[in-house]
Amino acid sequence: MIDRMINEHPVLMFFGAFAIFVLIIWIKSCIDEKKGIDSPEKQKVKEILQKIMQEHDDFREYVFVYAYRRDSHARSVKCWYYAIALTVDKMYVVPLIFGDKEIGHSYTIVIEKDIVDVVETSKPGGPMHALKFSDGNGDVILEITLEEKNTKLDKTYPVNIVQVEETRAFMQMLEQWK
């Protein structure tokens, strides 16, 4: 019977298989979003930033987020991942390192508001923000993508972190940098 259906309606079978594939991806994405609200990855990023802020004796109010930068060239993709803490006058950028189910970090970069002359952002209000920080000479200091919902799609998207409130608070505080 299935043989007969495939032979008689190949286009219908193709679209049926495609619809099932899309449904599976959608269900996986929904599950990952639920996990990301209070995921171990989100907690680890928060712990790393709390430790960094204490090391710098910076006890002011700050907003923390997870961000990344992704460059695609032909058949290769290069990704960088960051934990970022933003205060009214400083931004702590901590490159993240992903190992076997562990998240580590390397050195901390401190960007002071005074050296940033231009902050370019994508349209406000969306779930994804492309951010570019430049100095007075037009040199790019930092370029990142900040998303409200990060889900594990493939090896270049390694975490489930949902940060809707954090992203909105970050963008609101960032307005003081413009």
According to the model, what pLDDT value does residue 85 have?
93
Q: What digits encode the pLDDT tens for the residues 83-126?
A: 999 998 899 999 999 887 788 898 899 999 999 988 888 776 66
Q: What digits encode the pLDDT tens for the residues 14-37?
A: 777 777 777 777 776 666 666 656
According to the model, what pLDDT value does residue 103 have?
87
Distance (Å, whole) CA 167 – CA 138:
26
Tokens 């190949």 locate to 10
Provide CB contacts within 8 A for 103, sequence distance 6+: 41, 44, 45, 48, 96, 97, 159
Largest CA distance in the chain: 72
Distance (Å, whole) CA 71 – CA 75:
11
Confidence of residue 143 (pLDDT cuts 50, 70, 90): very high
According to the model, what pLDDT value does residue 5 have?
55
